[in-house]
Structure formats: structure tokens, C-alpha cells
Amino acid sequence: MLWSLFKIVLFVVIVAALTLGAGFLMESNGGIQITAGGTEFTLGPLQSVIAALVAILAVWLFLKLFALLIATLKFINGDETAISRYFDRNRERKGFQALSEGLMALASGEGRLAMAKATKAEKYLHKPELTDLITAQAAEMTGDRKKAEEVYKRLVQNESTRFVGVRGLMKQKLDAGDTDTALKLAERAFAIKPKHEEVQDTLLRLQAKNADWKGARQTLNAKLKHGALPRDVHKRRDAVLALSEAKDVLDEGKTIEAQEAAIAANKSSPDLIPAAAMAARSYIAQGRSKYAVRILKKAWQVQPHPDLASAFAEIEPNETPEARLQRFKQLTSMSPDHRETKLLLAELNLAAEDFPEARRSLGDLAETEPDTRVLAIAAAIERGEGASDAIVRGWLARALTAPRGPQWVCDNCKTIHTEWTPVCKNCESFDTLSWTTPPQSETVLPAGAEMLPLIVGSLEDKTTSTEDAGVVEDESESPVDGGRETPEDTTTDAGTTSTETEEPEKVK
């Protein structure tokens, strides 16, 4: 309200001022005299002011027309002008519209339409760093790998899009199975952008696959430096790489270096079972059994494992079963309720031929966690206690159809490995193996295999019955002639039989 009132008052003031000014000029004397071509023009004060304003307007119009003429000439010449900028803005509008339509087509899975829109956008925008990326991804979507590779190579030539091009080529080579070229491209992409997590993971996986443990450890350190990896995970994976490096050194025959690397790996991650076993064996080879015992006890406390028990047995390879059972109490006393501890005690008591104690050590594992190893131990206990062959074979038949028990299983693809490896042999993922029970048996048994224990028992029962019948027949045979009947015996028997059958008829 106040603002409207203010504008009205301001307008009245301006009109009053102009009116007063015009009246003042009309009442004043003087003016301007202009002589042109012998003609004299006399202008009063008001007319002079109006003439001045008209002259200023004429000059302004002349300058504008002159600027328009110059702009037209520059436009014809190809220079940037207001006219060219107008057409440029029109082209940019069409180009960005085609670009957005291409992105929408790419997101909706229409690869060919996305390529067409990218071509149209490139025609208007002339910005290959934008349109080439859409073209490459659309070509990959439609399966035109050759076109995608061609576009990615163009992106590599531009410094601003070099990383995108290298990464695209890297993924192309990975899909094609050319891991050697993919490794080189990953190294180049990592050099351009060392903080890129996908490139870090890809480079680490390829280096681990190619057994480049030193380069993999450098990449792992870069992941930790740039905050892409927690410190505890870095410590674990660095230990895995150190252990893998130790294995390679051991294969090359450099025993001292292998021992030092294994010990370093165990210090980095004491819960890594292969590192603990290898470090313990290194100390055993050096005659430092006390350190080996310390390492194995620490690892056993974290997770009991057969490899740790095997390394612990190598400390005293020539001891008696009773002495070994006594020495192994250092391990078995730490986790007495653990499954592996019970199995270890059962095996040690079997070796010492203490079968009742072996049964007590096994506990109820045959009912609660029946796998191949548990059932095989149960069969050995039955055999040691003098059970029949039917019972032993029944246990062994159950072991044939039972699960394999805990093994090295890849957490990513669930592939079972016979021994620990840093890289999964199936999906090639790094540090994904864990000691666990697989979700299903490694081998598929034929239908009806679960009936084997019953079949074995039935066959054994039939065999026993046949043997018993044979014993009865042997007892009825004549000990003098060895069970062979003479013709006389046959006649006598036949006659006796006939006589005995005829007598009832006479009675009747």
C-alpha cells in the first residue's frame, strides 16, 4: 500500500517538475541559431532541448544500425556475434534435449535408441566427452563390443576423459578373459586415480591372481591410505598376502626367507590358521619348539583346526601314543567342548587303543553332527571294541552318504577347496575362504544311497543265516564217510520210509 502511494507521488512530482521546466524554458529568452545552406533556423530554449533529445536519439539509432551491420558482416564471415550466439543457443538446446533423451533411453535399456540420440547430440553439441560415453555404454548394451572398444579408445586420447576410457577398456578385457592386458590397464587407471575403489579392488584381485604379492601389498597399503579399507581388514589381508609370498618363497627353495615371511604373516594376523601352521613349522625346523607351541596354542584358542593339530604333532614325531595323548592336553584343555577338540581326543585315544575313552571323547557327535570323519571314527571304535562286521559296515556306509564336514569354502561362490588358497579357484575373489561346513555335499550320490546302511545290514544277516544253516547240515552228516551216502544207505532209507508210510495204510 505504501509503495503504491509512493509511486503515485513520485509520478506527480516528475510531471510537475517537467511542466515547471518547460514553462521556464518557454518564458526565458535566447535559443539556438542554425545556418544551413544560406537558411537560418532559430530555435527557442524549449525547441533547442527537444532538438537535442532528437539528435541524441538519432545518434543512438545510427550506432545500433551500424552495430547490426557489423554483426551481420561478422556472422557472414563466421565470427561470433549476437546472431551466431542465438543460433548456438538453439543448437545447444536441441543437443542437450537429445542428450537427455539418450540418457533416458540408456537407463531404460534401449541401446540402439540411446546410440541414435547420442549421435544427434554430438551433431549439435560437438562435445565427444559427453556423447562418446553414452555411445560406448549403449554399444555394450547391444553387444557391439567392437564399437564400444573404438569409442573407449577415443576417450583415452582426451586427457579429461582418459580415466573413463582406460576403465572401460579394462572392463572389456576382463569380460573377454584377457587378464594380462586388463592388469596393465588397471595399473594405468590406478596411476590416474589412485583413490578409485573399484580400480583398487580390480587391481588387487588381478595381482593376487597373477601371484604378484609384492604389488598386491602396495595396492592394499594404498587402499588403507585413502581410507577405502578398515585397518583391521587391512591387517588380515596383508597377512594373507605375506603368507602367499612365503609359500612362493618356499616353493623356490629359499627356506630362511620363507620362514621369516611365515612368521611375519602370523604376527600380523594370529588367527590366520595357514599362517600359524606354517610359522610353527618354521620354528620346528629351527629347533625352537617352544615358540611353535606358543603359536599353535594361540591359534587353537581362537579356532581349533586339524592343520594346527597336525603341526602340533610334528613337534615330537617319534613319541608314543600315550605320550602324545598327554602332550596334546595343552591344546585339548583350552576348548574342551569344541567339536574339533572332541574329534582330536577320539583319534588320539584310538591311536592309544583306548576304545572306551575314544567313545566317551566322541560323545554324541555321531547323532548331532554326523559327517564323514565322525562316522569313520565311530566305525573304528566299533571295530576296536570287537563289534560285528555288520555294525562296522553300517557305520562305513553311513559315512559314505554323510556330509563331508567343515572344509575351506569360498564365502562368495560356495566352492569347496581341498586346501587354503588366497584366491578362490572358481570366482577368483581374494581372501574369501573360510573353514566352515558347506551348504550341501560336494558330490551328488545316486538315488537310494541313503539305504546303504540297511542294505549292508541285510546282506550281513543273510550271510550269517547261511553260515548257521551250513553248520547244522555239517552236524547231521556222517562223520565216518564224510557225508557221502552209499547205495545201501539209500536203499535202506528208502525202504524204511516206504515201510513207515505203508503201516498206517494197513491200520486203516
pLDDT in tens, 460-499: 444 454 444 444 444 444 333 433 333 334 333 333 333 3
| pLDDT beyond 70 at 239 | yes
For residue 433, the cross-strand partners are 410
pLDDT above 90 coverage of the chain, percent: 23
Most confident stretch, 18-32, 307-321, 464-478: 307-321
CA–CA separation, 348 and 321 (whole Å): 7
Give the pLDDT band (50/70/90) at residue 404: confident
pLDDT in tens, 109-151: 898 998 899 888 888 888 887 888 888 889 888 888 888 889 9
Asked if residue 22 lies in contact with residue 50, where contact means CB atoms within 8 angstroms, the answer is: no
pLDDT in tens, 243-275: 887 766 555 555 666 666 667 677 767 778 888
**Cell, residue 480:** 565216518
**What pLDDT score was predicted for residue 6?**
85
Count of Cβ atoms closer than 10 Å to residue 416 Cβ: 16
Asked if residue 381 lies in contact with residue 359, where contact means CB atoms within 8 angstroms, the answer is: yes
Give the dihedral sign, CA 183/186/192/195. Answer: negative
pLDDT in tens, 371-397: 999 999 999 999 999 989 889 888 988
Give the pLDDT band (50/70/90) at residue 437: confident
Average pLDDT over residues 209-220: 87
CA 445 to chain centre: 30
CA–CA separation, 157 and 129 (whole Å): 11
Task: Say which residue the cell 542428450 belongs to.
Answer: 99
pLDDT in tens, 6-16: 888 888 888 88
Asked if residue 195 lies in contact with residue 189, where contact means CB atoms within 8 angstroms, the answer is: no
Q: Which of 279, 298, 304, 302 is nearest to 289 (CA)?
A: 279
pLDDT in tens, 496-508: 333 333 333 333 3
Give the pLDDT band (50/70/90) at residue 354: very high
**What pLDDT score was predicted for residue 380?**
92
Give the pLDDT band (50/70/90) at residue 457: very low
**Cell, residue 197:** 575403489
pLDDT above 70 coverage of the chain, percent: 78
Asked if residue 262 lies in contact with residue 275, where contact means CB atoms within 8 angstroms, the answer is: yes
**What pLDDT score was predicted for residue 235?**
83
Count of Cβ atoms closer than 10 Å to residue 99 Cβ: 22
DSSP, residue by residue, 90-127: HHHHHHHHHHHHHHHHHHTT-HHHHHHHHHHHHHHH--
- Report DSSP state, residue 160: G
- Report DSSP state, residue 159: G
Amino acid letter for position 78: G
| pLDDT beyond 80 at 200 | yes
Return the beta strands (E) in 247-322 as ranges.
none
- Packing angle of the helix pair 213-225, 197-209 (nearest 10 deg): 160
CA–CA separation, 245 and 241 (whole Å): 6
Count of positions (residues) in the chain: 508
Q: If phi over 0 gives left and psi between -120 and 50 gives alpha, with beta otherwise, what is residue 81?
A: beta
**What pLDDT score was predicted for residue 163?**
92
**What pLDDT score was predicted for residue 245?**
75
Average pLDDT over residues 57-69: 90
**Cell, residue 212:** 604378484
Give the pLDDT band (50/70/90) at residue 322: very high
Count of Cβ atoms closer than 10 Å to residue 35 Cβ: 9
| pLDDT beyond 60 at 69 | yes
- Report DSSP state, residue 422: S
Asked if residue 170 lies in contact with residue 185, where contact means CB atoms within 8 angstroms, the answer is: yes
Cβ burial 103-118 (10 Å sphere, 16+ → b, else e): bebbeeebbebbbbbb
Instruction: Give the list of residues 6+ apart from residue 98 with CB closer than 8 angstroms, or none.
Output: 117, 118, 120, 121, 124
Give the pLDDT band (50/70/90) at residue 37: low
CA 261 to chain centre: 27
Long-range contacts at 97-100 (CB < 8 A, ≥ 24 apart)? 98/124, 99/125, 99/130, 99/131, 99/134
**What pLDDT score was predicted for residue 470?**
46
Asked if residue 311 lies in contact with residue 458, where contact means CB atoms within 8 angstroms, the answer is: no
Asked if residue 361 lies in contact with residue 353, where contact means CB atoms within 8 angstroms, the answer is: no
Average pLDDT over residues 341-358: 92
